[in-house]
Amino acid sequence: MSINVRVRINSRHCDELIEASSKNGLLQVDARSIKSWASPVHGTVYGTLLNDRKAVEAMAQQMNEVPYKHPPKAPVLYIKPINTLAGHRSDVPLPQDAKELQTRASVGLVIGKQAAKVNQNEAYDYIEGFTLVNDISIPHNSVFRPAVKENARDGFCPIGPWVVSKEDVTDPENLKINVYVNGAHKQQFLTDNLVRPIPQLLQDVTEFMTLFKGDVLMVGCGHNPPRVTAEDIIRIESAELGVLENKIGRVPS
């Protein structure tokens, strides 16, 4: 069985639908005529931190200590600005001041229409579909300050390869995301392990902040994001969303 997925490819500045089907348990396309992939989304990209139960458990004690003092009440959000957006197979530049990077694999909710004060019972009405996100950052232990310098480097947010319509995803709240570095399995992230499941997250975010068509809200990332360094190849796989592969660039000269 095949489905259509939405892409931006071959430097064309328009959305296109191409056919994809499941092979070897992963959604794939015939990529022979595809020379380059851009991010399939172009709005504002928001990340959610501490939305994975294991990640929260691991930090539980710290959350009651200085500087955090209390566990978070509202979703912990951040922005990946436009300079960070990149596509499938892009090289992620390794900055001069970083030896290692961390890869926070996530699922992005692609917003389908303006979403403000959404009720969680209607959350999926506002979602066009889903995509994979490789949210790269320079490792930072403290999440007290917004960490823009660590999160917002050029090319630090590969997205894609495509957007899968919500109708073609069996259960967005039960997705398995596997992360491989140079072929070795490093992490599994499950969307059934979220502190705020997708509908509640969308409700709590849009309570104070409108999301627009084309914006992306990442649902969170797993505990202990893998560390990567120069020339490592990161593969983020999910049966129904496909494979997002990116390479870390060379050590800058």
Partner 1 sequence: MKTARAAYEGNIFDATLEGDQLKLSNGKTVSGQEVVWLPPVQPGTCFALGLNYMDHASELEFQAPEEPLVFLKGPNTFIGHCGRTKRPQDVTYMHYECELAVVIGKQAKNVPQSEAFDYIAGYTIANDYAFRDYLENYYRPNLRVKNRDHSTPLGPWLVDAADIKDPMNLTLRTFINGKKVQEGSTRDMIFGVPHLIEYLSGFMTLHPGDLILTGTPKGTVDTKAGDEVITEIEGIGQLKNTIV
Q: Which residues bind partner 1 (CB under 8 A)?
A: 44, 46, 49-50, 67-70, 72-74, 76-79, 81-84, 95, 97, 116, 143-149, 152-154, 208-212
Query: How many CA atoms lie less than 13 Å away from 28 in the CB half-sphere?
Result: 9
Residue number, 78 or 180, with CB nearest to partner 1: 78
Position 195: which residue type?
V
Gap between the Cα atoms of 244 and 249, Å rounded: 16
Position 146: which residue type?
P
Gap between the Cα atoms of 239 and 176, Å rounded: 8
Residue number, 82 or 233, with CB nearest to partner 1: 82
CA atoms 81, 83, 89, 95: torsion sign? negative
Residue number, 110 or 241, with CB nearest to partner 1: 110
Query: How many CA atoms lie less than 13 Å away from 96 in the CB half-sphere?
Result: 1
Place of tokens 């947010």: 157
How remote is the C-alpha of 33 from its chain's centroid?
26
Least distance to partner 1 from the beta carbon of 218, Å?
13
Least distance to partner 1 from the beta carbon of 148, Å?
5
Q: Maximum CA pair distance of the chain?
A: 54
Residue number, 30 or 208, with CB nearest to partner 1: 208
Q: Kindly state the tokens that stand for 146.
A: 């917004």
Least distance to partner 1 from the beta carbon of 66, Å?
9
Gap between the Cα atoms of 160 and 40, Å rounded: 6
Least distance to partner 1 from the beta carbon of 209, Å?
5
Least distance to partner 1 from the beta carbon of 44, Å?
5
Residue number, 3 or 95, with CB nearest to partner 1: 95
Q: Kindly state the tokens that stand for 149.
A: 């310098």
Cβ-contact 32, 56 below 8 angstroms: no
Least distance to partner 1 from the beta carbon of 117, Å?
9
Least distance to partner 1 from the beta carbon of 201, Å?
13
Q: What residues does 132 pair with on adjacent strands?
A: 107, 160
Residue number, 145 or 176, with CB nearest to partner 1: 145
Gap between the Cα atoms of 122 and 196, Å rounded: 15
As a whole number of Å, the CA-based R_g of the chain is 17
Residue number, 54 or 212, with CB nearest to partner 1: 212
